[in-house]
Structure 1
Amino acid sequence: MNNHKKSFSIRDLENLSGIKAHTIRIWEKRYNLLSPERTRTNIRSYSVTSLQKLLNVTLLYNGGYKISKIAKIPEKNIPLLVREIIADSKSKNHSISAFKLAMINFDQSLFTKTYNGLLTDRSFGEIFRDIFIPLLKELGMLWQTDTISAAHEHFISCLIKQKIVINTEKLQHIEPVNKDKIFVPFLPENEIHDIGLLYLNYEIVLRGYKSIYLGQTVPMENLVDTMKYFDNLHFVSYLTVVPTKDKINGYIKDFATMTKGYTNPNLWLLGRQTQHIVEKTLPDFVKIFTSMDQVIERL
C-alpha cells in the first residue's frame, strides 16, 4: 500500500517552501502559478505536483528571478533552471531548499549533486553542522505537524547517514593516535535515533581516538563485554526518546551499579531526555552535555 502523502494544505506549502500563505495566494491569482483543488467548504488542496512546482519556483525566486519572469518560463524548463542554480550556488538556504526538493521527489541524484557541490568549498563536518543539522531540525518539525510523511523523513535521513558512514570509513584505516581514551558510542535499548551518535562517532575517529561503535538499541548488560578488554572506556550515548522521563535516573543508577568494579568508568550523555536527569544525584563519572558542539570541544 502506498502511504505517501498525496495532498497538501496551503499551510503545508508555507512550511515547506518558506513562502507565506498570503504570498502563495497572490502568486496563484496574479500569475496562475498553481491550480489548487478546493473542498466543498472552499479550502485549497494541493497535489504533490503543485508542491514540487512551488519548491522549484521558490528556488528560482530566492535565486534572484522575479516572480513575473518565472511565470513566463515554460513549465518543462523550470526544473532545468533549478538544477543550474543548485549547481552554481553554495548558500545554506539554497542547499536546504534543494535537499527538501530532493526529499519530496525521492530524488537521490539531486541530493548527491547538491552534496557534491557543497564539498567543493566545505568539509564534511561543516556540511553536517551548517546544513544537515538545521535541515534535520526543520524536517523534524515538518514531520510532527504532518506536513511530510514518515517515508520522506526516512529517505533523507538514510541518505545523510550514508554520508556519515562513508566519511567515517575513510578515516578508519588510520591507526588511532590518541591512546588516553577509548570511546564506546551506543544507544540504550529501544532507542533507534542514531544520526547524532553516528556523527559523534565520526568526530571521535577524526580526532584519532579508537571507537567501539555499538549503535542502536544496546541492552546495558551487553556493555559489560567491552569492559573486559579495555581500561579508561568512555561510553557515549545520545538520548532522544529513551530512557523516558520516569526511568532515566534509574538507568544511570543501574549503569553505576554495572560499572562498580571497573577502574575508571566514564559516561557522557546528551540529547533531549537529559533534561529529566537530577544532576545533584549524579555520580562523578557521568557528564551531561547540552549540545553536540560541547562534546566535540571536550574530545
Structure 2
Amino acid sequence: MNNIKKYFSIRDLENLTGIKAHTIRIWEKRYKLLSPERTTTNIRTYSLGSLQKLLNITLLYNNGYKISKIAQLKETEIPIKVQEIMAVQNNKNHVLNAFKMAMINFDQTRFAQTFNSLLADYPFREIFKDYFIPLLHELGLLWQTDTITPAHEHFITGLIKQKILVNIEKLQLTEPTKTDKTFILYLPEGEIHEIGLLYLNYEILLHGYKSIYLGQSIPLDNLGELLGLVENANFVSYFTVAPAQEKIGKYLEELSLSIRKQKGSKVLLLGRQTELIEAGDLPENIDTFGSIEHFVEEVIQ
C-alpha cells in the first residue's frame, strides 16, 4: 500500500510519542538511543523500528526509569522491560501506542489483539470512553500536523466503527424495555463523521430505548416523513463539520419548524459545530450537549 509511512521526521516522532524534538536529539546524541538516517539535505529521518523503540523508551521513562539506565539496556531488553510493566499494570499510554502502531502499519491484526486484551478486563463502554475517545482526539491532532495521512485515519476509524457495530448488533437482539420515546439518529447533509453518532446509538439501545438509525448526510425533508410514523420522536444528530457556521442558524430554524408538527418531538445535538451556537439562539424544542456523557446522564440514564 503506497500510503504506508516507512520514515518519519523528528517532528513526527514528537507528535506520536509526546517527547519534545529537543529531548529526542539529546537522547540521540548523548545516549545513542536512536540512529537516524540522513536525507541528501542532511535532515534526520527515522524508521518504523526507531518509532517503535522510542515508544517503548517513552513508556519506561514515564514509569520511573532514568534515561541513562535505559541507554544501558540491550536492544532486546527494552521490549522485555515494557512487557514486565504491562504484566503488573494496564498502562493506558502503551495501549494507545499499540493502536497508533497498528494504524501506522495498517495492521488490523494488531488492532484486534490490542482490543481483545482490553475486552478481557473491561466492558465495551469503558474501552470506548477511556481508549477510543482519547485515540480519536489524538488522531485529529496527528492529521492536522501531517503526521498521518487520510488513509491512516480512515483505516483506524473503520476498525473502531466495526467494534461499535458488533456491540450494537448484540443489543438489537432484545426488544426495547422503554417505550416513552423513540430516538431517530441522523447526520445532516455534508456530514460524514459517524463514530460519535454510532456510539450514541449503542448507548441508547443499551439503556433500553428503541432507535431508528438513518446515518450520514440526511436531507431535512426526509426527517419530516418519519413524524407521522413515530410518536415522541427525539431526533439526535452530531455536528462535526456541518452545517457550516454561517448556515447553522437557518438550518436549526428549519429543523425546529419541521418537527413542531408533532407534539413532544425534540432535537438533541452534539458535536464541535454546536459550540458555535449561542444558547439564547436555540429554538425551544432543540437542546445541545457538550459530551456523550452529558447526553447519557440527562436524556437516557
Mark yes or no: TM-score above 0.5. Answer: yes
Whole-angstrom distance in 1 between the partners of 2:60 and 2:152? 23
Pair 206,70 (structure 1): closer, same or farther in 2 beyond 3 Å: farther
Counterpart in the other structure of 2:249: 249
Q: Does 1:276 align with 2:276?
A: yes
**How many Å separate the matches in 2 of 1:86 and 1:192?**
37
Summarize the alignment of residues 5-154 of structure 1 with structure 2, pairs less than 5 Å apart. Answer: 5-39=5-39, 42-62=42-62, 67=67, 68-69=69-70, 72-74=73-75, 89-154=89-154
**8 Å contact 1:183–1:236 — kept in the other structure?**
yes
Once the two structures are TM-superposed, the CA of residue 128 in structure 1 deviates from its matched residue by 0.7
AA aligned to 1:293 is E
Structure 1: distance between partners of 2:24 and 2:75 = 19
How many angstroms apart in 2 are the aligned matches of 1:22 and 1:40? Answer: 22
Stretch deviating more after TM superposition (111-120 or 127-136): 111-120
1:38-75, Cα deviation, whole Å (9 max, x unpaired): 34554322233432332344345546666545664345
Q: Secondary structure at the match of 2:180?
A: strand
Q: Which moved more, 1:53-62 or 1:110-119?
A: 53-62
Give the residue type in structure 2 aligned to 1:280. G
With over 3 angstroms needed to count, the CA separation of the structure-2 counterparts of 1:219 and 1:81, relative to structure 1, is farther
Identity of aligned residues (%): 59
* Change over 3 Å in CA distance of 1:26–1:53 after alignment to 2: same
Q: Where does 1:149-160 land on structure 2 (aligned, <5 Å)? A: 149-160=149-160
Q: Following the alignment from structure 1 to structure 2, what is the Cα–Cα distance between the partners of residues 109 and 63?
A: 27
Q: What amino acid is aligned across from residue 58 of structure 1 in structure 2? A: T
For the residue of structure 1 that corresponds to 2:157, the secondary structure is: helix
Measure the CA separation in 2 of the matches of 1:204 and 1:170: 13
Q: Distance in 1 between matches of 2:38 and 2:262?
A: 66
Structure 1 stretch displaced more, 48-57 or 249-258: 48-57
What does 1:192-211 align with in structure 2 at a 5 Å threshold? 192-211=192-211
Deviates most, 218-227 or 264-273: 218-227
CA change 1:89–1:32 in 2 (3 A) is: same
Displacement, 1:202?
Answer: 0.5
Q: Distance in 2 between matches of 1:173 and 1:128?
A: 21
Match of 1:261 in 2: 261
Is contact 2:268-2:287 (8 Å) kept? yes
Unaligned ranges ≥5, structure 1: none
Gaps of 5+ in 2: none
Cα distance in 1 for residues equivalent to 2:109 and 2:119: 15
Is the contact between residue 191 and residue 217 of structure 1 (CA under 8 Å) also seen in structure 2? yes
* 2:246 partner SS: coil
User: Counterpart of 2:293?
Assistant: 293
SS in structure 1 of the partner of residue 268 of structure 2: strand
Question: 2: CA distance between counterparts of 1:151 and 1:267?
Answer: 33
> Aligned partners of 1:170, 1:158: CA distance in 2, in Å?
19
| TM-score normalised by structure 1 residue count | 0.90
Label 1:153 to 1:88 Cα distance change in 2 as closer, same or farther (>3 A): farther
With over 3 angstroms needed to count, the CA separation of the structure-2 counterparts of 1:281 and 1:163, relative to structure 1, is same
Alignment-mate amino acid for residue 211 of structure 1: S
For 1:163 and 1:27, how far apart are their aligned partners in 2?
38
Give me the whole-angstrom Cα distance separating, in 1, the residues matched to 2:71 and 2:114: 22
CA distance in 2, matches of 1:72, 1:146: 33
TM-score norm. by structure 2 comes to: 0.89
Q: 1:143 to 1:83 in 2, by over 3 A?
A: farther
Equivalent positions of 1:221-260 (< 5 A) are: 221-260=221-260
Aligned-partner Cα distance in 1 for 2:61–2:109: 23
